[in-house]
Structure 1
Amino acid sequence: MNRLFTGSCCILLFLGILTGCQKKEFDSFYERPEGLGAPIYQQLEARGNFKHLTAVITKAGYKDILSKTGWWTFFAPNDAAFELFFKEQNISGTADISDSLATSIVKYALVYNAYRKDQLSTYQTSGNTDAGNNLAFKRKTAYYDWVQQKGDSEHSKVIATNRNVQSRRSGSINVNVSAYVDGDNNNKYIPYFTETFTASGFNPTDYKQFYPNSTFTGFNVASATVVNKDIAAENGMIHEVDRVILPLKSLDQYIASNADYSEFRNLLDSLKYYTSNAYQTHRNFVATGIADSVYVKGYNGQLAFSPNNENYQTPGLNAYITNESQKSSWTMLVPTNDAFRAYRKKILAKYGNSFFKTAPSSVVIDFINSHMWPTTLWPSKFTEGQNYQLETTTLNISNAVDKKLLSNGIFYGVNQAQYANVFRTVYGVPYLDPTTSLTLLGYADGGTGIKVYTTQPNVRQTLLVMPDAVLTTAGYRYNESSASNTATAWGYRTSPTASYSHNTIYKDNIFRLFKSGVLITSTGEITSFAGTGIIESQSGDYIKYNNGKIQTSGTVDSGVDINVTKTDNTSVNGIVYYVDAILSFTDKNVGQHIENLSISSPTNFGSFYWYVLNSSIYNKTTKAISGVNAGIDNKYTIFIPDNAAISQAIKDGLLPGNKTTGALPTAAPTSEADKDLVRRFILYHIINGESVATDGKKSDNYLTLLQTETGDNTLLTVVNQPNNVVVTDRMGRASVVKLAFSNQLSNRTIIHSIGNYLKYK
């Protein structure tokens, strides 16, 4: 029994000693490190030159917070900063600072997490992992606006969105969708600059542009200078600054607060998007006892961004990257009222200079987007960055009469509007004309590729535009309600009394008409159609002109030429001509046009047509030559030897006929050998895959429709100079195109007359 008692006592004594050792280790590990400064509030109080700040902290209700827990960076204005602030605000002292203003000052000076000066320019990814040095110039503060009593009659209580509104396609229209995230307070950011920050092209001279009354010292916070850095505290880091910094406005708030931009503000307001939010409504009710609905306010999702969103997102992407706002920022150029009115008058002249109300809604979207930059546009790089429409500015920094670095972006008030490419190029002529709305719809559709091509300000252009009246008279229309999974909005009817039919065939047809009016020239725009010429269009079709009259392959069939009714040369990159008829294209096969030519000019086309008509590769009913397809991607060139050249080919044994006289056969060939001679001869005179006119543009070795017995392709060589085209065959024999009888238009095919035949063997 005594042994058991003695053993138990030893064990208890050992456990007591062990427990005491563990407690000492625990206390040693978690004890307050030696040399660590007091909490933020106590340090400020002890230093003696923050009396005003500590009074403001107390008034804001943050004394307890800054005296104990947390992990903050505090940009602390000293007493001299407050004395300057009192003078600027015309107040006597802290007693005149309201509780709400005190809260604003303190919370905007508080940055989440503690940073030394050398850490502030480091960009942190999600999870606060350092991602890159010298990239960051902003940090999230504890300040946010929350619910504002600044809505309209329907939305009396609003809160700014914390994510850009998303635009989604629903059928044939764009639908706005709120992407607001509950629990994100849309905190404001505070900007700072150190000598190591060089990202995005920042130059220290840029600082002076935004803060003309301050000097860049190598460590500035907004307009303030840090006069004492890296003061370590138990609950964070203190940087003493020489100015009181009030929460910066967002882009949206600044535009709304300045009467100089009221015209732009009104236009921006037309794109507001509200959505009710149950979470914020309940939260506001708990805080205020007011049960009114709270609405999230954003802006149309087709804009580059919502200018009231404090959280940076890459425009065009719905994803949000945490902490991206540390290094990225938006930029807006906003014209003053006078500049706005002048530009509105310029671009909306055909709409009666109205408040954009009668113009297509896309005009408003494009106008505002042209003034929105998805990146930080520093003053020193003002002419280099690209806006949301991938355009550099048409202005200079001297046009910026107001420069502000705001909480979510850079603001430039400019005395001239940004000239958007969609308005200043030839694309803008039909875009800004209510009489050409159908043409605009076709141009804007990505399926035509016209917008991308015509909005290049440095590429000279010529357009032939068909007014709506011309297109509707021809049977075309656009009707959104007719669009479905199997039908398009584009419709067509064969006569004024017929019903409209909507399908992809008519969409393809009218797109071809639009693209036929986009002329491809190598020497710039066509200044006049008074002369004679031939030009290729974006559709692959050619148009001809002679003494003011315009021909297409379709007018060749109808015999009625097209006239220019109006000319617009106001664009920076070319001329637009309005025409009085559609730029029609033929639906006939090429054999029909060769037949027509054999009648109108028999000495140049008659003999060749005889062989086509009597060949084994010709369909007399459809008038199609085998191998010559009328599909949208097919283009051809036919070189037709005149009658004398055909006669020589007969004598040389390349065609059946009288080898002595060169006369045509008296009947269609019947032997397989003669049929094959005719087939080979015809196919070798047809270039496959390209239409070549006498415009000097296309010179190359081209495949023909003829293949050898072993399946190899055969070639022709075309040397093309303006009004001088020479074709060389496989035997090295040259033939000159006869200009007076060439450039005949067919179904994506050009027909030429030549004075020699082409020999393939």
Structure 2
Amino acid sequence: MKRKFNYYLLILPLLALFASCSRDVFDEYYGRPDYLEDPIYQRLEELGNFKNFTVLIEKAGYKDILSKSGYWTLFAPNDEAFTKYFQENGISDVSKIDDATASKIVKYALVFNAFRTDQLSDYQSGTGWIIDQAFRRRTAYYDGFKYDVGFDGVRRLIVDVNRNGGLLNATVNGVPVIDNNNKYITYFDKEYFAAKKLNASDYNFFYPNATFTDFNVLGGFIKEANIIAENGVIQEVTEVSLPLNSIDVHLKSDPNYSIFYDILQNNFVTYPFSSLMTNNYRNFSGNSEDVFVKTYNPNLVFSPNNENYLKAVDNDGQNDAYTLLAPNNDAMQVFITDVLTKHFKYEELPQYVFQDLVNAHMVAGAVWPSLKGQYQNGLKEELRFDFATDVEDKKVLSNGFFIGTNKVQKSNIFFSVYTSAYLNPNYSLAVRLFNDGSGYREIVSNIDSKFTLFLPSDSVLQALGYSYNTIQLRWEYLSPNGAISETGTAARNRLLRLFYNCIVPTPDGELDNIATTSGVIRTGDNELFGEYIQWDNNKIYAAGTIVAGNAVNILGSERQENGITYFIDKFPEFSTEFQGLAISRLATQNAQYSSFFNYLRNSNIYRASDGKIDGTDLGTSYTFIVPNNAAIAKAVTDGVLPASPTTTIAGQRDLIADFIRYHIIVARTASNDNLTNGLFETLRRDSKGEKTYVNINSEAKNLKFSDNSGTTANFILASSNNLADRSLIHLVDNYLKLTE
């Protein structure tokens, strides 16, 4: 034992010597290099012009953090910036700034990750850096838990929702992803401006009293850039910045926009309980209060209190932000009185009306004034504001731009003929059909195109047998005489066709004087043609109403931005009979149709029982060209038609059939309205089975048909434009002949 003890007495000094040598080698290899700059806090002290800011760093408890390793960008306000801040806020010196304010200033100046100015304009996308596409960075500041009084008057402890779409928290594979809704700071860099084709006016729009420089940070600028520290980069700035409000908080704090804010709060905000946030709060504070999440309806373009932008990828808030264009109280009050409550009581307005109103003033992007025409609001409309005259307030906020306006967006929804139904409770069935994917809303609500809308009320529709089953969610139709009963798709399709007869493009106000004029006009849209209807001194006729021997009466009207709505007592009904019967009636009413009809009814392509002409079908568009008696006589003289309509000779009967077919234009209805010009297919085939064509010219209030030899048949206005199922029947002064 003694020998072993002596041995250890000898070996211990040697081990100590070796350990000392190893530590020197370790420190030399892994120790802090002499060439490194000091950490951020020490660098600020060395530079000497951040004395006020370093005091705030200590008050905020960030001295230790900024004196250690890390990876930060610090927008550090210099002492000159603080002198200005003291003067503006009536503060004598930095000692008068409390700890809470100090924490706000420091955290909002602190950006995650270290960036030089040439990197701050680059967007850290999920697929890599995108050059010159960023103008914002996430800061270390977030609001956290706070109290809020809801529209119900209840005071709650809340956190703001950190995602759009009503989500309480984002999840990945079902596991909550907690982020603190950190606020962003906005800067204006010449590289970003150049890439976006912006200019100084875009900056001065928000900061009219500041000078646009190479790199502005909010209302100030970077005086000295890229001061390197061990744990990040310092950017010396000329302005002290407190954390900016969110759009939600700013709107709440400005009484000039209280009506718009109340609409948001009363219709789209809920406060669901969050067990996750409650546990976090209780663990953090030791208190036992419940925590709720202030959540906006997912049908809005964005949640005004969400600081995270879309969060489709982690850093997309660097690349874009929201914009709210909020009308002031005066503009809102006029709009409520003149538009919203023209037929509704305010308290009875459906929520979807407020939803459309709010979305009309929301843009899921940062709206730069010089690029105003490139943006669309939440209703996919261009922004209809003059930024020089219609804007009274504008602010850069933590989650986007706020633009206060003295007018309401002239939205399609609220200023078009569609509005006559949309904002009148007596027309809810029409609104339901327009909005169910039919596309009719998009047609008639376009204020850049002029329309006339014929609109039946709910009571008119119900009297005609139409209803909507809200339990089975389907349209239903039972004709007043009980002869026809349809449900679901069949009933909806019937209504769709009827309502399409009620939509009329009138670019030149063709129906403005409907009470004292008459004529024929095409319904539908310029891309998908409807049928023709007639009007005559406050009465409307479609093919079906003519067959039934009645008319649609105009009950009243309402002028809108893009045309006139006429309220009607029934539908302009479509016809369910074949066009041959319409020609038959014309022949009894007008002798000039008789010769042609004699050949038609005796031909081998006509079915006398129902008037069907072979090759034609109900629901398909046609134009029937009917030569008058003199033209038919000429065709007989020229040998194009046999002398007798009742001939039994097969070859002659074929001539009659071909003659009739060549006078029927397929898939197009033509009138003298300059809407149909060019070559159009006929029902006839030539001897080789190929399609044949007739040229139509509908210019100058006239209508001409020409065959392939150049022979022209002119329509006779007084006897033309006769309605049939999706068709017009015209009397002409000549016949057409196919030359092969």
Q: Does residue 124 of structure 2 align to residue 124 of structure 1?
A: yes
| Counterparts of 1:57 and 1:643, CA distance in 2 | 102
Shift of 1:496: 8.3
Give the partner amino acid of 2:384: T
Shift of 1:584: 1.1
Give the partner amino acid of 2:443: Y
| Counterparts of 2:181 and 2:464, CA distance in 1 | 55
Structure 1 residues 738 and 42, CA gap change in structure 2 (3 angstroms): same
SS at 1:446 equivalent: helix
Question: Unpaired segments of 5 or more residues in structure 2?
Answer: 1-17
| Counterparts of 2:113 and 2:478, CA distance in 1 | 69
Alpha-carbon contact 2:422-2:428 (below 8 Å) kept = yes
Give the partner amino acid of 2:493: D
What are the Cα deviations for residues 176-206 of structure 1, in whole angstroms up to 9, with x where unaligned? 9976763122110011223333144432233
Give the partner amino acid of 2:675: K
What are the Cα deviations for residues 141-182 of structure 1, in whole angstroms up to 9, with x where unaligned? 01111222215366823222222116xxxxxxxxx9976763
Matched ranges for 1:212-361 at <5 A: 212-269=208-265, 270-313=267-310, 320-352=312-344, 354-355=345-346, 357-361=347-351
Matched ranges for 1:350-429 at <5 A: 350-352=342-344, 354-355=345-346, 357-382=347-372, 385-388=375-378, 389-429=380-420
Who is 1:140 aligned against?
138
Structure 1 residues 69 and 450, CA gap change in structure 2 (3 angstroms): same
Structure 1 residues 645 and 28, CA gap change in structure 2 (3 angstroms): farther
| Counterparts of 2:207 and 2:692, CA distance in 1 | 72
Who is 1:194 aligned against?
189
Shift of 1:109: 1.0
Equivalent of 2:616 in 621, 628, 633: 628
Equivalent of 1:649 in 628, 631, 635: 635
Q: Does residue 665 of structure 2 align to residue 687 of structure 1?
A: yes
Structure 1 residues 752 and 24, CA gap change in structure 2 (3 angstroms): farther
Who is 1:65 aligned against?
65
Percent of pairs with identical residues: 38
| Counterparts of 2:481 and 2:292, CA distance in 1 | 50
Q: Does residue 475 of structure 2 align to residue 476 of structure 1?
A: no
SS at 2:394 equivalent: strand
Shift of 1:309: 1.3
| Counterparts of 2:731 and 2:541, CA distance in 1 | 19
Give the partner amino acid of 1:509: R
What are the Cα deviations for residues 333-386 of structure 1, in whole angstroms up to 9, with x where unaligned? 11111111112222124235x44x323333212211221123222344456643
| Counterparts of 1:495 and 1:131, CA distance in 2 | 66
Who is 1:15 aligned against?
none
Who is 2:15 aligned against?
none
Give the partner amino acid of 1:564: I
SS at 1:283 equivalent: helix
Who is 1:678 aligned against?
656
Shift of 1:43: 2.2
Who is 1:738 aligned against?
716
| Counterparts of 2:290 and 2:487, CA distance in 1 | 45
Structure 1 residues 393 and 522, CA gap change in structure 2 (3 angstroms): closer
SS at 2:530 equivalent: coil
Equivalent of 1:590 in 575, 579, 584: 579
SS at 2:540 equivalent: strand
SS at 1:427 equivalent: helix
Who is 1:612 aligned against?
600
Give the partner amino acid of 1:395: D
| Counterparts of 1:612 and 1:240, CA distance in 2 | 92
Who is 1:440 aligned against?
431
Shift of 1:499: 11
Equivalent of 2:566 in 569, 572, 577: 577
Shift of 1:638: 0.6
Shift of 1:52: 3.1
Who is 1:12 aligned against?
none
Shift of 1:690: 0.3
Who is 1:431 aligned against?
422
Structure 1 residues 476 and 292, CA gap change in structure 2 (3 angstroms): farther
Give the partner amino acid of 1:343: F
SS at 2:417 equivalent: coil
SS at 2:670 equivalent: coil
| Counterparts of 1:556 and 1:214, CA distance in 2 | 71
Give the partner amino acid of 1:131: I
Alpha-carbon contact 1:534-1:695 (below 8 Å) kept = no
Structure 1 residues 178 and 617, CA gap change in structure 2 (3 angstroms): farther
Structure 1 stretch displaced more, 644-653 or 578-587: 644-653
Matched ranges for 1:454-533 at <5 A: 454-483=444-473, 489-495=474-480, 501-521=486-506, 523-529=508-514, 530-533=516-519
| Counterparts of 2:419 and 2:679, CA distance in 1 | 39
Q: Does residue 549 of structure 2 align to residue 552 of structure 1?
A: no
| Counterparts of 1:61 and 1:498, CA distance in 2 | 84
| Counterparts of 1:242 and 1:648, CA distance in 2 | 95
Give the partner amino acid of 1:223: G
Structure 1 residues 349 and 146, CA gap change in structure 2 (3 angstroms): same
| Counterparts of 2:634 and 2:67, CA distance in 1 | 108
Who is 2:520 aligned against?
534
SS at 2:293 equivalent: strand
Who is 2:690 aligned against?
712
Shift of 1:23: 8.8
Structure 1 residues 619 and 277, CA gap change in structure 2 (3 angstroms): farther
What are the Cα deviations for residues 4-48 of structure 1, in whole angstroms up to 9, with x where unaligned? xxxxxxxxxxxxxx9999999976664433332211122223444
Give the partner amino acid of 1:594: I
Who is 1:156 aligned against?
156
Aligned Cα RMSD in Å? 3.0
Alpha-carbon contact 2:168-2:293 (below 8 Å) kept = no
Shift of 1:101: 2.3
Question: Unpaired segments of 5 or more residues in structure 1?
Answer: 1-17, 167-175, 314-318, 484-488, 659-663
Alpha-carbon contact 1:373-1:387 (below 8 Å) kept = yes
Give the partner amino acid of 1:299: Y
Give the partner amino acid of 2:76: A
What are the Cα deviations for residues 271-307 of structure 1, in whole angstroms up to 9, with x where unaligned? 1244443322221121123444433333222222111
Alpha-carbon contact 2:184-2:307 (below 8 Å) kept = yes
Alpha-carbon contact 2:49-2:78 (below 8 Å) kept = yes
Structure 1 residues 273 and 202, CA gap change in structure 2 (3 angstroms): farther
| Counterparts of 1:106 and 1:546, CA distance in 2 | 76
Shift of 1:426: 2.6
Shift of 1:640: 1.6
Give the partner amino acid of 1:527: D
Alpha-carbon contact 2:39-2:229 (below 8 Å) kept = yes
Give the partner amino acid of 1:443: F
SS at 1:612 equivalent: helix
Structure 1 residues 415 and 689, CA gap change in structure 2 (3 angstroms): same
Who is 1:14 aligned against?
none
| Counterparts of 1:588 and 1:247, CA distance in 2 | 72
* TM, length-normalised to structure 2: 0.89
SS at 1:752 equivalent: strand
Structure 1 residues 97 and 525, CA gap change in structure 2 (3 angstroms): farther
Structure 1 stretch displaced more, 491-500 or 584-593: 491-500
